[in-house]
Amino acid sequence: MNLTLKIWRQKDSKSKGQMVDYKVSDISEHMSFLEMMDVLNEQLVAKGEEPVAFDHDCREGICGMCSMYINGEAHGPDRGVTTCQLHMRMFKDGDTITIEPFRAAAFPVIKDLVVDRTSFDRIQQAGGYISVNTSGNTQDANAIPISKHAADEAMDAATCIGCGACVATCKNSSAMLFVGAKVSQYALLPQGQVEAADRVRNMVAQMDLEGFGNCTNTGACEIECPKGISLENIARMNRELLKASF
Partner 1 sequence: MALNSKVPQGPIKDKWTNYKDHINLVNPANKRHIDVIVVGTGLAGGSASATLAELGYNVKAFAYQDSPRRAHSIAAQGGINAAKNYQGDGDSTYRLFYDTVKGGDYRSREANVYRLAEVSANIIDQCVAQGVPFARDYGGLLDNRSFGGVLVSRTFYAKGQTGQQLLLGAYSAMNRQIARGKIEMFNRHEMLDVVIVDGKARGIIARNLVTGEIERHSAHAVVIASGGYGNVYFLSTNAMGSNATAAWKIHKKGAFFANPCYTQIHPTCIPRSGDYQSKLTLMSESLRNDGRIWVPKNMDDVLAIREGKKKPTDLSEDERDYYLERRYPAFGNLVPRDVASRAAKERCDAGYGVNATGEAVYLDFASAIERYGKEQAKIQGIENPSKEKITELGEAIVEAKYGNLFQMYEKIVDENPYKTPMMIYPATHYTMGGVWVDYNLMTTVNGLYCIGEANFSDHGANRLGASALMQGLADGYFVLPYTIGDYLSHDIRTGKIPTDSKEFDEAEKSVKDRIDFFINNKGTHSVDYYHKKLGKIMWDKCGMSRNEQGLKEAMAEIKALREDFWKNVKVPGSANEMNPELEKAGRVADFLELGELFAKDALNRNESCGGHFREESVELEGEQKGEAKRNDKDYAYVAAWEYKGEPADAVLHKEELEFKDIELKQRSYK
Q: Considering the complex, what minimum distance in angstroms separates the CB of residue 78 from partner 1?
A: 7
Q: Considering the complex, what minimum distance in angstroms separates the CB of residue 216 from partner 1?
A: 28
Number of residues that bind partner 1 (CB under 8 A): 79
Specify the residue, 142 or 245, whose C-beta has the smaller distance to partner 1.
142
Nearest to 53 by CA among 113, 136, 126, 122: 113
Q: Considering the complex, what minimum distance in angstroms separates the CB of residue 218 from partner 1?
A: 25
Specify the residue, 56 or 170, whose C-beta has the smaller distance to partner 1.
56
Amino acid at 3: L
Amino acid at 61: G
93 forms part of the interface with partner 1 (CB under 8 A): no
**Cβ contacts of residue 101 below 8 Å, gap of 6+?**
8, 10, 67, 68, 69, 107, 109, 112, 113, 114, 115
Element (H, E) at 222: helix 220-224
**Hey, which residues between 54 and 83 contact partner 1 (CB under 8 A)?**
55-65, 78, 80-81
Amino acid at 52: V
Q: Considering the complex, what minimum distance in angstroms separates the CB of residue 236 from partner 1?
A: 15
Q: Considering the complex, what minimum distance in angstroms separates the CB of residue 193 from partner 1?
A: 10
Specify the residue, 50 or 93, whose C-beta has the smaller distance to partner 1.
50
Give me the count of residues in the chain: 246
| Ramachandran category for residue 136: left, alpha or beta (phi over 0 → left; psi -120 to 50 → alpha) | left
Please list the residues that pair with 68 across neighbouring strands.
101
Query: CA–CA separation, 70 vs 68, rounded Å?
Result: 6
Q: Which stretch binds partner 1 (CB under 8 A): 96-104, 155-163, 169-177, 233-241?
A: 155-163
Q: What share of the chain is helix, strand, coil (3-state, %, to 5)?
A: 35, 15, 50
Of 96, 191, 214, 216, the residue at the interface with partner 1 (CB under 8 A) is: 191
165 forms part of the interface with partner 1 (CB under 8 A): no
44 forms part of the interface with partner 1 (CB under 8 A): yes
Number of Cβ within 10 Å of residue 114's Cβ equals 20
Q: Which stretch binds partner 1 (CB under 8 A): 91-99, 121-129, 171-179, 213-221?
A: 121-129
Q: Considering the complex, what minimum distance in angstroms separates the CB of residue 177 from partner 1?
A: 16
116 forms part of the interface with partner 1 (CB under 8 A): yes
